[in-house]
Structure 1
Amino acid sequence: MSFLRTIARWLLGVGLVFAGVGHLTFARDSFVAQVPHWLPLPTDFVVLASGVVEIALGLSLILLARYRVWIGWIVAAFFVAVFPGNIAQFVSGTDAFGLDTDLARGIRLLFQPVLVIWALWSTGAWKAWRDHRRRA
């Protein structure tokens, strides 16, 4: 199980680094389209900052195994924090990343909790929390 979790953690890390690089380069326009209009920050700042955060989180998942439980909680919180952008994309009907139908955007909404679970499971954060509760 440990090997499988490690592979899952690395895959999530690589995915985050890839997405982060996309924020800064080739997919920037698609990420700009997802920033909710009600957010009181400059859109370009949000896209660039979230890209840098994704790269940092991805590298942390890969390189800082010693802190993987804490990183797992932080990555899960990040996925929760960006969820309003996905909701805004669904509500406004914004086309980005090939999500050009309500069905496609709705399916994406369903995938966000999977990312949260993936972060918690692959880092052992969920298991550490359960173990802590049992001891308490």
Structure 2
Amino acid sequence: MASDQMKIDYGNLEHLSTKLSSALNVVGRDLEGSVLLAADCGDAGLARKVVGFSTSWNKHRLDIRDTLDWLQGTVKNIRDELEAVDTQLAAGLNSEGSAVMAPGVVAPGAVAPGSGNSSNAGSGFRSV
């Protein structure tokens, strides 16, 4: 059965953002360790392999970091936008009960009954 309510768990969104931040921290670390490891190898051939691997991995690491950074920003934006809409809706619902409009007066942004304008033009929504 479909629900007529949308439930948003802001705690889960915040938890996801925190986990993404931790992943960014790990992936974003400089690979100084590989240089130190190469110096400690004691074998020039092995040291070259370590440096070669770290150079190749560095490119992939930067790609992963950029993707995680984008994802974290997107999650934060979704959370912030949903919270703003939730706050606006709550404020509108709270003020709706206290404001009594005279008959025939249309609230700002509303479509007057019988006006023929059901497209919600300019509201950011469209009828489906």
Q: TM-score range by the shorter chain?
A: 0.3 to 0.5
Using CA pairs under 8 Å that are at least 6 residues apart, name the structure with larger relative contact order, 1 or 2: 1
The structure richer in helix per residue is 1
**TM-score, scaled to structure 2:** 0.34
